[in-house]
Amino acid sequence: NAGVTQTPKFRILKIGQSMTLQCTQDMNHNYMYWYRQDPGMGLKLIYYSVGAGITDKGEVPNGYNVSRSTTEDFPLRLELAAPSQTSVYFCASASEGRQPQHFGDGTRLSIL
């Protein structure tokens, strides 16, 4: 019953450091998404992918990069961490764009 798995669960970074947030799903879903959620706010889409080798920008892509080399994995990379990227990051997947999305438990990221 793994579903969508995100690692790490928590991370503290210094300004300017880089890191990769990992996301993997075992449901053979084509669609995968990265969101960020700031306190008291809804989720905002960073990037999404409709299949291996295909990615596209969401509402707030600046400062992030993604890749989708396999159906299962959709890592999110921060190249030069900035305090504005302190947030909770959620990965989600769906069988196709109009179906319910399944979410991971999130990665809580603080940049100091």
Partner 1 sequence: KQEVTQIPAALSVPEGENLVLNCSFTDSAIYNLQWFRQDPGKGLTSLLLIQSSQREQTSGRLNASLDKSSGRSTLYIAASQPGDSATYLCAVAPGSARQLTFGSGTQLTVLP
Q: Point out which residues bind partner 1 (CB under 8 A).
A: 4, 40-45, 48, 50, 56, 58-59, 90, 92, 97-106
CB 106 within 8 A of CB 90: yes
Please report the DSSP string for 59-94 in residue order: S--TTEEE--SSSSB--EEESS--GGG-EEEEEEEE
Q: Omega into 8 within 30° of 0, i.e. cis?
A: yes
Q: Residue for token digits 């509402």?
A: 59
Nearest approach, Cβ of residue 51 and partner 1 (Å): 12
Please, which residue, 16 or 51, has the CB nearer to partner 1? 51
Nearest approach, Cβ of residue 47 and partner 1 (Å): 11
Please, which residue, 39 or 82, has the CB nearer to partner 1? 39
Please, which residue, 17 or 99, has the CB nearer to partner 1? 99
